[in-house]
Chain A
């Protein structure tokens, strides 16, 4: 099983600042990685797939990069609606092997 490790667990950022979230895979997942945003009481929302492709309707301030085992989600200028939990997910060779990271909570500083 591929283990996905996200860091930090919590990120405190002021509105307007840049946020950088990391995701590491225990073995290469190529570029088969997605990022999701989840707000309290809501379902996850797809932000990025293919490590760097923004999903439909996602603002340009969200960007993804990386390949292999190291990935980054960057939010260039945090807006109030961006404070949430972010999950990475690998889907290399899925089905059936699919795993999520433990999440990074982005909170207001």
Chain B
């Protein structure tokens, strides 16, 4: 059974740093595309970052240069290092596993098939 369990959230002052963890079971993190998605209180979903199975990483413009996604293959765990935090980074952060199919153009199309329960990050003085 696939499970994703996030941890590491909490209250942090503006300008501070925090590292989120996502412990996975039932599959291998390093063999899959893994992402972080966040949701500000009472708002919709916002994609944050992805790490490819090959190790390449991408970020939303809103966090580029401040957040770093990584993984520890030995622990089967995904991470999100968040630096220079701002009030607008306040949100529940979800990790998500991506799966794929080949679309009509022959390209691999990825979507999120499993999500963790989320961890709340509050940036406030």
* Secondary structure of the A contact surface, majority rule: loop
**How many whole Å from A3's CB to the nearest CB in chain B?**
12
| Residues of the A chain whose Cβ atoms lie less than 8 Å from the Cβ of B44 | 87, 100-103
Minimum C-beta distance from B6 to chain A (A)? 9
Q: Which residues of B contact A36 (CB under 8 A)?
A: 45, 112
Segment with Cβ contacts to A, from B11-19, B23-31, B46-54, B76-84? B46-54
CB distance from A29 to the nearest CB of B (A): 10
Which positions 56-110 of chain B face chain A at CB distance < 8 Å?
58-59, 94, 101, 103-105, 107, 109-110
Contacts of B47 in A (CB 8 A): 98-100
B58 & A30 in contact (Cβ 8 Å cutoff): no
Residue contact A45 to B115, C-beta cutoff 8 Å: yes
Which chain A residues lie closer than 8 Å to B50 at the CB level?
A: 95-96
A1 CB to nearest chain B CB (Å): 9
Number of residues in B with C-beta < 8 Å to the partner?
25
Q: Which residues of B contact A43 (CB under 8 A)?
A: 94, 115-118
Query: Residue A31 at the B interface, CB < 8 A?
Result: yes
With A44-B45, A96-B50 as known contacts, state yes or no: A49 contacts B101, CB within 8 Å. yes
B105, A30: Cβ atoms under 8 Å? yes
**Partner pick for B109 among A50, A87, A96, CB 8 A cutoff:** A50
Residues of A within 8 A of B58 (CB): 95-96
Give Cα A31 to B118, complex, Å: 28
A42 to B62, CA, bound (A): 24
- Nearest to A46 among chain B residues (CB) is B113
B103 engages A100 (CB within 8 Å): no
Interface residues of B (CB under 8 A from A): 33, 44-47, 50, 52, 58-59, 94, 101, 103-105, 107, 109-118
